[in-house]
Every structure is written in C-alpha cells, then in structure tokens.
Structure 1
C-alpha cells in the first residue's frame, strides 16, 4: 500500500509506542508485585508513517531479583540481562532524556500509545510506587490501540489481542512474541495501517489520582512537554 501523507494539523507529529515486559510467575498470585524488566519505545512518525527510531533498556528488578523460569521462557529475557541492567529510576531518566533529544513536547507534538490499559495504569503505576517516584507526567494520557481498533473497524473488544489484530489486517507477527521491543514494533505496524485507513488515533485513556479513566474523543490533540525526571516523594 502506498504511504499517505498525514495532515500535521490533525494529528500528533509522533506516536511513542510502549509495551513493557514485567516480572511474572505462572498463575500469578494476587500478592505478586510485577516489576518492569524491559522499557522499550518505538518512535512512529505520523507524517512518513515509518518507525523513525527506537529506545530499549532492560531493568533490574528489586523485589523479586530472581526471574522465574516462566518469565524467562515467556519474555526471552535472561537473568544475566537483568542482573547487568540499571534499576528503574535510572532507566526512566534515560527514557525521558531520549524523548527530550527527539524534541517531543517542545518542537513536536506526540502521544503515547499502548496495547491495552495495563502498561500505564498497572505496570508503570506499580513501578513508581515501588521506587517511590512520582508518576511521570508524559505517561498520564495515552492511546489504547485496542479501543481505537475496535471502534474504528467495528470489532468486538474480545477480538483485539495483538495477534488477532495483526491477523485481521493480514499481517504476521514479526519477531519474538513477548519481547517488549518486538511487541512495540508490531503494535506500531497496526497503528500505521490504521492511519493509512483513515483512523484518527487520539488519546482515549488517562490516569487520574491513580484511577484509570476514559478520555472523551472530543478532547483536542496535544502532547504534554516531556517533564524533568520525576522526583522522589
């Protein structure tokens, strides 16, 4: 399909696709604390409809530093990778610095895009509490592509898993499932196709006082400036 140019007045300049990987156990118990172990960002240029750059860092967990065999097999992230990684506050600082280098929120408007609500409302929210960090401003609103996909293509919400969305668009998964970076790239491929098909991808969820909320579709497009590193409480 020929790439289409997108009107800058109607869209964000960039979309940052984020799909965290976190510690997990088979049949996760309710008391298990999920910690982020991979922080990827895929930078999608909405003008060219191309992935312009990527960010990826692994994260050393603190509460459960030893990964379960289930987690290693699911994510492909080895114990050695997380043992050698930085802890979350330093990785978050690196991610924010990377976004600033891309001039997101200053020269260019942008939005965060995720596959569902959990990345921000659960995983990042929990991680910030674990590290006693203020929840970062840039991640308080995002595009839940599952909602956008279901609404745009008139697909039931239970048919908006990543693999199903790809399949319905005639695409195969590219890479390793449950790799945060590969998942993010595949989510970006879906976003590109939706933009090509005329979908207006807009922020549709937010976190307010720790609670997940729906954002009305009439909310104007923006892109909050990337903040300074969130401080400790």
Structure 2
C-alpha cells in the first residue's frame, strides 16, 4: 500500500484483515436485445459463508412491462459468498450474472453522441444513520453495457447490536434480505479497501479506473448518482465515522436529476418519476440499493440513447473539500 494512501485514507490500522475482495469477472455469451448486446458478467464465488436455510434473498418481481428473462439476483453471489453454485434449483431461481438487463425500452442508437467519459460508475447508497449498502455498477459509455458490479453490505460501527438488528429488520426485512445482510456485511473501511482493489483491476486491456498515484482521481470515469446526497453528504459523514479522510475519487460526480432537467427541460424529483415519464418499467425493489442502481442505469442508458451529454454537475473544492460547487445553473435543489 502506497504511503500517500495510508496518510490519506487511514487514521488507524484495521483491527483485522479484510475478507477477499471481488475478483475479476468473466463473460458469457451476449444476449441480443433491441440492437444492443448485453454482456453477461459473472461474479466470483469466493467463500463458504452461505447458510443452508431457505432464506428469501430475492428482489420483488417487476409488475407490468416485465422483462421475460428477469430473475432475482442472488445477493450472496454479489458478495462473493454463494455456496450453491452446484444446486440446479438455486441456479434456476436466482440470477448469478452481474450484468444488468437494460434492453426492452431503448429506441435505438441513432441519436447517441460521444461522451467525455468512457465509463460511468452508477452509485446508489442505502442507510440514513450509517451506510448499509454500497452498490456500484460499471457502465460502458460506448457499448451502453453494464460490464461489472461491485456490491457490499456495510456494518455500522457506532450502533449497538440491538439497534443494528432493529435497523436491519426494518430496512431489509421487508425485502427478505436481512439474513444475507447479517451474513455478509463488513465495516465501511473494509468496503473501501475492496472497492479500491476493484477500481484498480485491468479490464480487457483497458486502463484501470483508478490509480493511487497522481491526484488520485478516476481515469476517464465519473460517478453518476440520482441526487447529490450520496457523495455530497453521506460518504463524507461515513468517512468521518470511520476515521478516514475523504478519498480523492469522491470529489466530483454527475447528478442524473440535473442532466435530466437540462436535457428534457422538465423536472423529475426522483428515480421513479424519471422512469414513469420515460416509460421504463421498474425492476426489483425500491430502496434495495442494488436494484435502485440497476434502474438508475436504465435511466442513464435512455438519456444517452436520446442524445444527452452526461457531464460533471458538482465538484468539491480541492483546498476545502467541505465546499461543493454546483456547475449547472438549472438544477434540482
């Protein structure tokens, strides 16, 4: 680990080594949908932490506009901890692909334009008191495929076990994923360690998304969020709780609400309203972060195919990172 990174990201040594990080993805045969080829990206299954009970770990099946091949994702698999890869019934019931089905609502590519960034990192955090879920989809701006996924559940560090249990039951119990959260959640600082390993991966000979030398910013990539809360407010708060300095790659982002407003010239206060206006059916469960990230990626894809230019909408001041400068005059506040 580089000396600068120890200084930048750590105020104390970790009490225990982090679990294995998300390994390289492999690709299966693409699916042809509406002129777009969707690559199926498979996660690695790394450990043997999955219980033998029949805990329901699926997302809500979409109602209306259903994509016929859609299946709920195995959330143990996204954490690298599925132990049922040899169980035909399990494989039939749950998806073990880390790709996202974005087809079915895209009119075509004739209006799309060149983008400044090669990749977009679609991020949608969950957790009001502390971060509970950290999902990131890697969206290729040229192919409009989701080519990789990073997904971790996050364990709070300033809450009692009783409060954590109440918190998780209220948050994830209604989705039936509270058990997988308890089995896989790790501390935020360990999530960031693993996320940085994921960012450093070389993908098909392309440049790494991030290097720790230089200014520490992303390479030809930008975070995309639905609102400013994730990177303006919650990440800095969680870094403070964890005793970490804010990593430099969190210094700027694109708020999809502002892109939507300036491109279509109409306001949409949230993800669901954008999807309704664009005629995109919802997949999965709202407020399950991995599912919300998929739906945000589908809105992003529609914007790109309609000809929108996705730009940075907010930046932190290098000398005073608590100061955020908003770059669009016409924006959702």
Instruction: Give TM-score scaled by structure 2 length.
Output: 0.57
Residues 4, 47 of structure 1: alpha-carbon distance in 2 compared, 3 angstrom cutoff: farther
- Which residue number corresponds to residue 87 of structure 1? 187
Q: Separation in 1 of the partners of 2:210 and 2:250?
A: 12
1:57 pairs with 2:168: no
1:153 pairs with 2:264: yes
Instruction: Give TM-score scaled by structure 1 length.
Output: 0.79
Q: Separation in 2 of the partners of 1:207 and 1:118?
A: 14
- Tell me if structure 1 keeps the 8 A contact 2:118–2:141: yes
1:18 pairs with 2:114: no
1:131 pairs with 2:242: yes
Greater C-alpha radius of gyration: 2
For structure 2, list consecutive stretches of 5 or more residues without a partner in the other structure.
1-106, 203-207, 212-217
Q: Separation in 1 of the partners of 2:125 and 2:302?
A: 22
Q: Separation in 1 of the partners of 2:257 and 2:175?
A: 21
1:144 pairs with 2:144: no
- Tell me if structure 2 keeps the 8 A contact 1:149–1:160: no
CA RMSD of aligned residues (A): 2.3
**Offset, 1:13:** 0.4
- Tell me if structure 1 keeps the 8 A contact 2:125–2:134: yes
Residues 196, 4 of structure 1: alpha-carbon distance in 2 compared, 3 angstrom cutoff: same
- Which residue number corresponds to residue 283 of structure 2? 174
- Tell me if structure 2 keeps the 8 A contact 1:166–1:173: yes
Q: Separation in 2 of the partners of 1:5 and 1:197?
A: 5
Residues 163, 44 of structure 1: alpha-carbon distance in 2 compared, 3 angstrom cutoff: same
1:36 pairs with 2:142: no
- Tell me if structure 2 keeps the 8 A contact 1:113–1:143: yes
Q: 1:215 aligns with which of 295, 309, 327?
A: 327
